[in-house]
Amino acid sequence: MKNTVATLQQQKLDGDKITMLTAYDYSTAKLVDECGVNTILVGDSLGMVMLGYEDTISVTMEDMIHHTAAVTRGAKNALVVGDMPFMSYQTSVYDAVVNAGRLMKEGRCQAVKLEGGASVCPQIKAITEASIPVVAHIGLTPQSVNAFGGFKVQGKSEADARRLIEEAKAVEAAGAFAIVLECIPAKLAKLITESVSIPTIGIGAGADCDGQVLVYQDMLALFSDFKPKFVKHFANAGEVMKQGFTDYIKEVKEGTFPAAEHTFKIADDIINKLY
C-alpha cells in the first residue's frame, strides 16, 4: 500500500519506526521500494554520491527533477520526498513555491524537503498552503557548510540546543509534516521528538527519533571518500561490485566470456555459404 503523509503521522502515534533511505535512480528505487521502506528521499546528497562534488552547493533544480522523476517511476509504495537544492528556496517565498511545484509536477514526488528553521518558515508555510507537503531539516544542514565552517555536530551548547528545540517547534507550526534531525546529540533529538507532534527522522541523531534515514551508498559501503560516525555498513556492496567487475575483466581477457549460452546461433549451411 502507498505510504502517505498520514501513514507517517500514524507511525509516530503507534511508535512504529519510520524507515527512510535515499535513492537517485529507477533501479535502486525499485530495490529499496521492494524491501518495504516507508519513504525514499531523493537527497541533494546526490551531488556528492552520484556526481562527485565535495558538497551539495552545486546541485541544481534540473539535477533534482531529473533524478526525482527516475525514482518516482521506480517507487510503488514508498512516499517519495524530493530535496530542494541550494538557492531554490532561500531567495524568496515565491521561488520556493515555484520550485517545490516543479519538483512535484515534473519529478512527481509526493513531498519536498528543505533545510533550515525559523528563517525558512515563511517558505514552509507557503509551500504547504500550495498543497505540497514539506519535510523540514534542522541540525547539520549541509547547504550551510560554508556558514558552519565544516560538517560539524550541532546543538551541543545550551544556546544551540535551545535554538534547535525552538526551530523544531517553529517548522511544525509553519506546517511541516516531518523533520529530519541531522548530526545532533541523541538526548537532544529525544527531547525534540517529545516536544513536537510531527515525526522526527534522524541521521546521526540517535535511536529515539521517530524514524531513521541513511544515504544508501553510505550504508552499503559504496561510497568510500569518507565515513561519518553515524554510518553503519549493513552490507559491503562496494566489494561485491568490484568482485563482479574484476571477474568480468578477467573472463573477457581469457576468452571465457561470453560462453555458448550467451551467444546467438545461425544455421551452419547459411554461415558456410558466406565463407
44 annotated as a binding-site residue: yes
- Contacted by 203, from Na ion, ligand KIV, none: CB < 5 to 8 Å by type: ligand KIV
Binding mask 67-86 for Na ion (x = CB under 5 A): ----------------x---
Nearest residue (CB) to ligand KIV, 63 versus 269 = 63
Which range touches ligand KIV (CB under 6 A), out of 2-10, 41-49, 183-191, 232-240? 41-49
Q: What span, in angstroms and rounded, lies between the C-alpha atoms of 82 and 70?
A: 11
Among 22, 38, 42, 44, binds Na ion (CB under 5 A): 44
Q: Which of 182, 194, 251, 261 is catalytic?
A: 182
**Amino acid, res. 112:** V
> 10 Å Cβ neighbour count for 194?
10
Contact 215, 43 (CB under 8 A): yes
- Residue 28 backbone dihedrals phi, psi, to 5 degrees: -70, -40
Residue 106 appears among annotated catalytic residues: no
In the complex, least distance from residue 262 CB atom to ligand KIV, rounded to whole angstroms: 38
Task: For the segment 14-33, give every residue that binds ligand KIV (CB under 6 A).
Answer: 22
Task: For the segment 53-112, give every residue that binds ligand KIV (CB under 6 A).
Answer: 83
Among 24, 43, 85, 88, binds ligand KIV (CB under 6 A): 43
Contact 217, 49 (CB under 8 A): yes
Contact 21, 41 (CB under 8 A): yes
Among 32, 33, 38, 43, binds Na ion (CB under 5 A): 43
Q: Could you list the residues that contact ligand KIV (CB under 6 A)?
A: 22, 41, 43-45, 83, 180, 182, 203, 213, 215
Q: Could you list the residues that contact Na ion (CB under 5 A)?
A: 43-44, 83
